[in-house]
Structure formats: C-alpha cells, structure tokens
Structure 1
C-alpha cells in the first residue's frame, strides 16, 4: 500500500487536535512537540486541511487550530484525501500500464483492494479513535513526557541527593 508520511502525519495531527480540542485552539508547536512532526511540515499540512474545511485557525494570543466540525463528522479518509494523498495498492498508480505498458492480470484486484481500504477508512471517525482506550493511553503518555516533574518530587530528589552525599 502506498500511503506516505503525508497522509500518516495528517491523520496523526488531526487526532492530536481532536484529543486536545476541549482545551481550546491547539498550536502547531504543541502538536509538533507531542508527535515529533516538524513544524514547517505541519504548517503545509494544515494549509491543505484548512482549504478542505477540516480545521479552522484562530489568530492571536492563545490561537491555534480547531476542528471545523465535531470529531464524529470527520473521517480518516477525508483527512487523507484533503492532503492529496491516495490510497493505492497497485504497482502502476492505477494507470493500467503495469505489465509491459498494458494492464496486468491482477490490476483490477489491486484497484478493488484500494477502494476497500478507502471505504474502510471512510468509516472511521476521529471521535471513534478518540474513544479508544489504547489511543487514550498513548495520549496520556505523550502528555506526561512533555510535562515537567512536579515541584514536590524535584524537592524530594534534591533532599535525597543531599543526604546521600553527607
């Protein structure tokens, strides 16, 4: 299957946005930090997502991006389509020139599979992903990774270290 990082990153960024939507607009810098996607790449993706009315931008202090509609109404296939990514398992890019310039024996099988994958992803909403326990666990781990340690534990560490040195 040919699904490049563009489609994968777009889905990841949109899921991150959906997970943090209740906090208000989400900055691309925050998504970049949590997901390890370059800020400039996210800017390119979000320009396409905005053009396709999947997100809207909020300017000013505390600005960022928000979903343009409820996460239950945004589907994975829409995100992939919005960033001009195709779901294609053919070896010819659906051109039909896969076997010496002509259609190969299995061309239509791979075209049908590509359609099945697209249909499958058309049935998966951002909300259905947000509701998954495994997604919630990963999101919590990512939040914890970025958060500084509580002050009390820093003090305890310092006190323990000073007693060890005495």
Structure 2
C-alpha cells in the first residue's frame, strides 16, 4: 500500500492545527507556510476532512479551520480513511461477500488471509495513534510551536 500525498499532507496539516492553533481557528496560509504545502491543495484535502467530520471552518478575518474533537479523540486511521477511502493493503482484503467489490476468489485463496491479517495489524496500529500522540512526539522532538499572530496585541 502506498499512501497518497492527500493522506500524508493531510496528517501533517491536522497535526499543525492541533499543535499550533489549539482551540483557535488556523488559517490555510499559516499551515501552508509551516508545512510547505500548497494552499490550494490544502483546501482540497480539507474538504475530505470536513466531509468526514474531522474539521470545520469559520469564515472571516478571525476564521480558519479547527478540529471538531480534541486531538486525543482523532486517530491517524480516521485521518487516513478520510483522505484515502479505506486502509486496505490490497482490494481482496475486504470483508464483503463475493461480488461486492471483493476478490473473485474470496474464501478460496490462502493469500487473502495474509492480506486481511496485515490490514488488521495496520488498522490496530493506526488506531493506537492520535493527533495528541503526534503533538507529544513533536514536543519531544523539539518542534517549535508558533502562536497565531492574529491574536497578538502590542502596546
């Protein structure tokens, strides 16, 4: 399985929101600059996350994107599935009955069990990681936090 840039960049962008914005809306231009991702591509990626209920947006000068749940309640698997559609390593690892998009040898191929088990292990691992986990790792790595300049006041 090869993850697309949609899930890789999407995970980076959601980490950025959780790490830098906290409860405040994060603006695309700031996420784009910090993560070196095109703002137009971020907008496209964020549509999938909005549809999946991971992100919401607020319009206006104090607006931006914000997480719908706390970072410890959003798993990496949820993010990957919102971006990719599923986490199947191969199409025949599905659990649907024969003829519903699954392998034509469903239940008759020994290798199908290998791919099904591998997908299960991957899903268990991705479920064990949350945005909070990534924020803790970022902090341990010394990733610099950037406060939102829109909310800075100088006297």
Quote the Cα distance in structure 2 between the aligned partners of 1:84 and 1:51. Answer: 13
Please, which runs of 5 or more residues in structure 2 have no aligned partner?
A: 95-101, 147-155
Moved more, 88-97 or 56-65: 88-97
Checking the alignment, whether the CA contact within 8 Å between 1:3 and 1:88 is kept in structure 2 is no
Once the 2 structures are TM-superposed, how far is the Cα of residue 111 of structure 1 from its aligned partner?
2.2
Residue 25 (1) aligns with residue 25 (2): yes
CA–CA distance in structure 1, aligned partners of residues 5 and 91 of structure 2 = 18
Tell me, yes or no, if structure 1 residue 75 matches structure 2 residue 75. Answer: yes
Larger Rg: 1
Q: CA RMSD in A?
A: 2.6
The aligned counterpart of 1:123 is: 128
Residues 74 and 9 (structure 1 numbering): CA distance in 2 closer, same or farther, change over 3 Å? same
On the 8 A contact 1:76/1:125 being kept in 2, the answer is yes
Inter-CA distance 106–22: structure 2 relative to 1 (3 Å threshold): same
Scaled by the length of structure 1, the TM-score of the pair is: 0.71
2:143 counterpart residue number: 139
Shift of the 107–138 alpha-carbon distance from structure 1 to 2, 3 Å rule, reads farther
Aligned to 1:54: 54
Q: How many residues align?
A: 138
In terms of fraction of residues, the more helix-rich structure is 1
Task: Give ranges in structure 1 of 5+ residues lacking alignment.
Answer: 144-166
When the two structures are superposed, what TM-score results if normalisation uses the length of structure 2?
Answer: 0.76
Q: Distance in 1 between matches of 2:54 and 2:93?
A: 26
